[in-house]
Amino acid sequence: MTDLVLSETRDRVAILTLNRPDKLNALNYALIDRLLSRLDLIETDNDVRAVILTGAGERAFSAGGDIHEFSLSVAEGTDAALRDFVMRGQRLTARLEAFRKPVIAAVNGLAFGGGCEITEAVPLAVASDRALFAKPEIKLAMPPTFGGTQRLPRLAGRKRALE
C-alpha cells in the first residue's frame, strides 16, 4: 500500500507530501489521520524547525474532500458521515493553525475545497504559476466546513472574501 503522506527531512525542514496524485490528492479519512499523526511526530522532534506541506504530482495540491469515499460512508447515515468528515477536517485545519512550528503550504496546482482551507490555516502559502484556489462546494449550496468561512475573511478582508 502506498503511503498517503510522504515525509522527509532536509536541512531541519520536514517536507510532507499528500500522496494521492491519481485522485488529485483528495482528502480521505486515512490521509487526514495520517497527516495528523505526522504532525504529532514533527511537533516533538527538536531536529525539525519548520514544515513544508505540498501535493504529489503536477496537477494538484489537494482537490479537497474525497467525495467518492464520503458518499460510500453515507451508508452509515448522512448525518453521521457528514459529522465525521467535517470534524476530521476541522481538527486538521485547527491543528495546522495552532502548530508550534512554521508550516508553509507549497501549492503546486489545484487547491479546492478542503485543500484551499488548508492553505488558509497555515501561516504562509506559496503558489506556483499552476496554482488555482477555489471553493466549488459553494456552487452546490454547501458551506466550506473546515473553518474557511471564518479564516478567509480574516485573511483577505470581508469584501475580498465575498468575491
Contact 152, 128 (CB under 8 A): no
Among 84, 96, 89, 145, smallest CA distance to 120 is for 96
Among 63, 71, 3, 73, smallest CA distance to 31 is for 3
> Strand 13-18 vs strand 5-10: parallel, antiparallel, or unpaired?
antiparallel
Amino acid at 98: A
Amino acid at 20: R
Q: How far apart are the first and last CA of the chain?
A: 41
Task: Give the catalytic positions in this structure.
Answer: 117, 137
Residue-wise DSSP of 58-110:
SSEEE--B-HHHHHHHGGG-HHHHHHHHHHHHHHHHHHHHH-SS-EEEEE-SE
